């Protein structure tokens, strides 16, 4: 249920409504918009909406028909902007996160960070704890990897995102990173999601390999219900009958999520395509479809990468893609990397 307060509702009236809902055993999430305050009411109890609707200062009481409440646009009509210092995800600017699939060596991380920064990325990506399909594949460098990534991010004035797979890694990852990444395989790890609801850092929640958009938004709801409002959704492709690409990148998820939810959505064309010769096409399409950002795998030497080499772009390819996105973004009223970037070395 959503309680929409009148534009002129006083603080005392709002507090009275909140108090009576809390008394009825409900959790109340307050969203203070430009014009009105909206109260998202969740919980297992039943409240008589007729009684609430006649309270002073209440404009209307709406039933949210979707199973997710706090993630829905009915609760919060204006889009959420996740702010990390000067980086705003969900605003006019399309934010690009880029870097290797996994941190491997100091040289790899630093060279790649320098390249993505030069091309206009704002956030460095890189895994230190890797959810690999095979237990025999490279599992990541753990804290050593996080240290390398943080140093490289700081050296190039980039924010840092890295994957958290388990509750017991949260404290360590929080020490080094600006955004927690929840991978596709953990989208339904509800214990982890609940704990991230109490974290003080933004969470990028990837769509599960076979999750519907509704299931994905319900997973976001776990984090929001814990009080962490900074959730970024990430479409990374889903499993279908098609085998030509690693996953089927669901481009329609972008406008669908924009309609259903206020949360920002970014696209991961690397895992969507699974091959580097198709990443740029999907990235361009995602920006044109309204994605708030991209997360892209780039490696200084992808042919020797310890994970996801086939889908990792060479820095020169990434650089060219960024130049193309600078043409596409303004066509749909967005910007991308406003600062002038260093001269690029590619040619047509
Ligand atoms: C990754 O970002 O490297 C990763 C493991 O992604 P996903 O969870 O989408 O498979
Ligand atoms: Mn990867």
* Per-residue pLDDT tens over the stretch 242-278: 999 999 999 999 999 999 999 999 999 999 999 999 9
Give pLDDT, residue 348.
Answer: 38
What is the CA(271)–ligand 1 centre distance, in A?
A: 7
Is the pLDDT higher at 338 or at 7?
7
CA 122/CA 132 separation, integer angstroms: 26
Pocket perturbation via mutation, ligand 1, pick of 138, 173, 271, 305 by most ligand atoms within 8 A of CB: 271
Separation of CA 223 and ligand 2 centre (Å)? 23
Interatomic CA distance for residues 278 and 246, integer angstroms:
11
What's the gap in Å between 270 CA and the centre of ligand 2? 8
Q: Do the beta carbons of residue 256 and residue 213 sit within 8 Å?
A: yes
- Ligand 1 in contact with 183 (CB < 6 A)? yes
| pLDDT above 70 (res 342) | no
346 pLDDT more than 50: no
Query: Which pLDDT does position 46 carry in this prediction?
Result: 85
- 105: pLDDT strictly greater than 60: yes
- Residue 170 in this model has a pLDDT that exceeds 60: yes
Atom of ligand 1 nearest to the CA of 130: 5
Return the best residue to mutate from 140, 173, 184 for the ligand 1 pocket (most ligand atoms within 8 A of CB). Answer: 184
- If one residue of 166, 182, 183 were mutated to test the ligand 1 pocket, choosing by the most ligand atoms within 8 A of its CB, it would be 183
Q: What is the pLDDT of residues 277-321, one digit of tens each?
A: 999 999 999 999 999 999 999 999 999 999 999 999 999 999 999
Closest residue to atom 10 of ligand 1, CA basis? 184
Q: The pTM is what?
A: 0.94
- Cβ of 127 closer than 6 Å to ligand 1, yes or no, is yes
**165, two tokens:** 């797979």
Q: How far is the CA of 131 from the centre of ligand 1 (A)?
A: 8
With a 6 Å cutoff on the Cβ, whether 29 touches ligand 1 is no
Structure confidence at residue 160 (pLDDT) = 98
CA–CA dist 7, 34 (Å, integer)? 9
pLDDT attached to residue 35: 87
Q: Is the pLDDT of residue 343 over 80?
A: no
Ligand 1 centroid, distance to 163 Cα (angstroms): 8
Q: What is the pLDDT of residue 264?
A: 98
Say if ligand 1 is within 6 A of residue 299 CB: no
Shortest-distance Cα residue to atom 8 of ligand 1: 183
Q: Which two tokens stand for residue 90?
A: 């969900």
Given a cut of 80, is residue 347 above it in pLDDT?
no
The answer, yes or no, to whether any atom of ligand 1 lies below 6 A from the CB of 315, is no
- Taking the centre of ligand 1 as the mean of its atom positions, its distance from the CA of residue 184, in whole angstroms, is 6
Contact 209, 234 (CB under 8 A): no
Q: pLDDT value at position 34?
A: 83
Strands (E), the chain: 2-5, 27-32, 37-42, 58-62, 82-84, 87-89, 93-99, 123-125, 159-163, 179-182, 203-206, 231-235, 265-267, 293-297, 335-336
Q: Is the CB of 184 under 6 A from ligand 1?
A: yes
């Amino acid at each position: 249920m959503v309680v929409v307060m009148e534009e002129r509702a006083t603080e005392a009236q709002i507090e009275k409504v909140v108090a009576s809902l809390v008394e009825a055993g409900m959790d109340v999430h307050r969203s203070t918009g430009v014009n009105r305050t909206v109260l998202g009411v969740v919980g297992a109890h039943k409240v008589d909406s007729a009684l609430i609707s006649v309270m002073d200062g209440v404009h209307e009481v709406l039933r949210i028909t979707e199973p997710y409440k706090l993630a829905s646009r009915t609760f919060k009509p204006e889009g959420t902007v996740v702010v990390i210092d000067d980086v705003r995800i969900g605003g006019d600017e399309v934010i690009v996160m880029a870097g290797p699939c996994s941190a491997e060596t100091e040289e790899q991380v630093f060279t790649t960070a320098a390249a993505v920064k030069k091309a206009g990325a704002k956030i460095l990506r890189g895994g230190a704890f890797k959810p690999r399909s095979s237990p025999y594949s490279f599992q990541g460098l753990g804290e050593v990897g996080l240290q390398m990534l943080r140093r490289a991010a700081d050296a190039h004035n980039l924010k840092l995102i890295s994957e958290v797979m388990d509750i017991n890694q949260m404290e360590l990852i929080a020490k080094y990173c600006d955004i927690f990444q929840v991978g596709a395989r953990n989208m339904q790890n509800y214990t982890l999601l609940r704990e991230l609801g109490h974290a003080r850092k933004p969470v990028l929640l990837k769509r599960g390999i076979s999750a519907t958009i509704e299931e994905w938004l319900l997973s976001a709801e776990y984090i929001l219900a814990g009080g962490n409002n900074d959730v970024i959704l990430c479409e990374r492709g889903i499993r279908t009958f098609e085998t030509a690409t690693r996953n089927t990148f669901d481009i329609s998820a972008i406008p669908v999520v924009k309609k259903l939810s206020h949360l920002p959505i970014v696209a991961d064309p690397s895992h969507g395509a699974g091959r580097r010769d198709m990443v740029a096409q999907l990235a361009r399409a995602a920006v044109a479809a309204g994605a708030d950002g991209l997360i892209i795998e780039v490696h200084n030497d992808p042919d020797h990468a310890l994970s996801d080499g086939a889908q990792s772009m060479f820095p020169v390819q990434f650089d060219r893609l960024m130049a193309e996105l600078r043409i596409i973004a303004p066509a749909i009223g967005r910007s991308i990397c406003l600062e002038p970037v260093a001269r690029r070395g590619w040619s047509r």
